[in-house]
Chain A
């Protein structure tokens, strides 16, 4: 039983065995295993259509070299999407609420794009630090600002995902607590709060999907600049 509102974010542990890895593997339960048929069942067809859609959308702005990232970006998108959506079920632990996991995803991928850019085309990569058409007196300040913005990217990626999901889950908990507590006292207000909770749930579903997409989209953008 939860004593505080933050116990839902505690990394699950059973008899001292950390279960975080198991909870990160749960999304695989939702994916159908590919079988060697040409015409598959509806689920497999839809999964294939969905993955084709995502990959096409992500790969259109990238050049030939960027297409090597298709697998990792698509699988990352699927993972984040399913983890986020599964986390909306009650009594579930959402791994993406842990800053450690999101930083572990964001930092290496961002660093990979940066190193690829600096290694293969250093002048173009550094050239992104100065937008076109800036007035000459502003150049030093702008380069400092752009460098800061570049270095803060992994932090932003990780914290964005963590904050969105944590905030959503906390809000759900708070509003559902309010509605439960108000039920014997003022049933009408309780019903109103439940309506708010319903709308919030719909919002959370949308946020779960959008946050996954935004994460991967930003990574692909950073890749576009550097590859």
Chain B
């Protein structure tokens, strides 16, 4: 059954890919009459054929009053002139606008595609860089290892210092304690000796020492007077 009806098919009977749209629309003359009509009449009547046909038809309608000229003719002339003026003036702009809309649509899709491609290329670059970085891994680890060792060493030394300081503080304390004790003993002894000496000075000895001092002073004063 399918083969029998196949000559009648007008479309391609498949959905994709769609046949492309033609670049330009059909050729028209005076915006209304397709070029094919003129080509159709050309062999028999030449270039002026269709125009003669048109004029003849118009005059026939007018003379036989198939088309009567009434007020609507004037109204028709006005609205047609407005339409033709509008098309001539704004036609190209509107077509360019429609083309721009289509271009933007395509450009957006292309932009998405290009952005994706660019993103992937950047990812490839990054990956290559990472691979290069992998080669220097050992240096990185050595440096890190040295770093850590130094940190550990520093920490150890700091703690050693703390221990040393603590111990010194304890020992200093003991030394100071001993010194203090010796000092106290010394002071105490001196005080005791002085006290005893002062006690042992009897009044007899005191008077003797005072008269001796006075005699000495007199002697001295005499020697001084002689000197002067």
Interface residues of B in 18-50 (CB under 8 A from A): 18, 21, 25
Residues of A within 8 A of B101 (CB): 45-46, 49
The distance from the CB of A41 to the nearest CB of chain B, in whole angstroms, is 6
Q: Is A205 an interface residue (CB 8 A)?
A: yes
A43-B82 Cα distance, complex, nearest whole Å:
21
Whether A173 and B71, one on each chain, are in contact in the complex, defined by CB atoms closer than 8 angstroms, is yes
Interface residues of A in 182-208 (CB under 8 A from B): 194, 197-198, 200-202, 205
Interface residues of A in 19-51 (CB under 8 A from B): 36-43, 45-46, 49
Known: A46-B94, A202-B82. A90 touches B68 (CB 8 A): no
Residues of B within 8 A of A1 (CB): 68, 70
Known: A42-B95, A42-B98, A46-B94. A176 touches B79 (CB 8 A): no
A45-B104 Cα distance, complex, nearest whole Å:
12
Whether B82 and A41, one on each chain, are in contact in the complex, defined by CB atoms closer than 8 angstroms, is no
Q: Is A148 an interface residue (CB 8 A)?
A: no
Residue from B73, B78, B82, B98 within 8 A of A45 (CB atoms): B98
Chain B interface residue count: which class? Answer: 20 to 34
Q: Mark B72-95, 1 if CB is under 8 A from A, else 0.
A: 111110110110000000000011
A202-B102 Cα distance, complex, nearest whole Å:
31
Whether A201 and B82, one on each chain, are in contact in the complex, defined by CB atoms closer than 8 angstroms, is yes
A136-B141 Cα distance, complex, nearest whole Å:
87
Q: Is B106 an interface residue (CB 8 A)?
A: yes
Whether B76 and A90, one on each chain, are in contact in the complex, defined by CB atoms closer than 8 angstroms, is yes
Known: A37-B18, A39-B102. A172 touches B75 (CB 8 A): yes
Q: Is A180 an interface residue (CB 8 A)?
A: yes
A205-B90 Cα distance, complex, nearest whole Å:
16
Q: Is B105 an interface residue (CB 8 A)?
A: yes
Q: Is A89 an interface residue (CB 8 A)?
A: yes
Give the residue name and chain of the A residue nearest to B75 (CB): A176
Interface-central residue, B73, B94, B101, B106, by most chain A CB under 10 Å: B101
Whether B21 and A90, one on each chain, are in contact in the complex, defined by CB atoms closer than 8 angstroms, is no
Residue from A39, A43, A180, A201 within 8 A of B70 (CB atoms): A180
Interface residues of A in 85-104 (CB under 8 A from B): 88-91
Interface residues of A in 34-71 (CB under 8 A from B): 36-43, 45-46, 49
Whether A180 and B102, one on each chain, are in contact in the complex, defined by CB atoms closer than 8 angstroms, is no
Residue from A38, A42, A45, A90 within 8 A of B75 (CB atoms): A90
Whether B21 and A176, one on each chain, are in contact in the complex, defined by CB atoms closer than 8 angstroms, is no
Whether A180 and B79, one on each chain, are in contact in the complex, defined by CB atoms closer than 8 angstroms, is no
The distance from the CB of A106 to the nearest CB of chain B, in whole angstroms, is 27
27 A-B pairs (CB sep. < 8 Å): A1-B68, A36-B15, A36-B18, A38-B105, A39-B21, A39-B102, A39-B105, A42-B102, A46-B94, A46-B97, A46-B98, A90-B73, A90-B75, A90-B76, A91-B72, A176-B78, A179-B71, A180-B74, A194-B74, A197-B74, A197-B75, A198-B78, A198-B81, A200-B78, A201-B75, A201-B78, A205-B82
| Further contacts, 5 of them, CB under 8 A, given A39-B21, A41-B21, A42-B98 | A1-B70, A42-B99, A176-B78, A177-B71, A198-B81
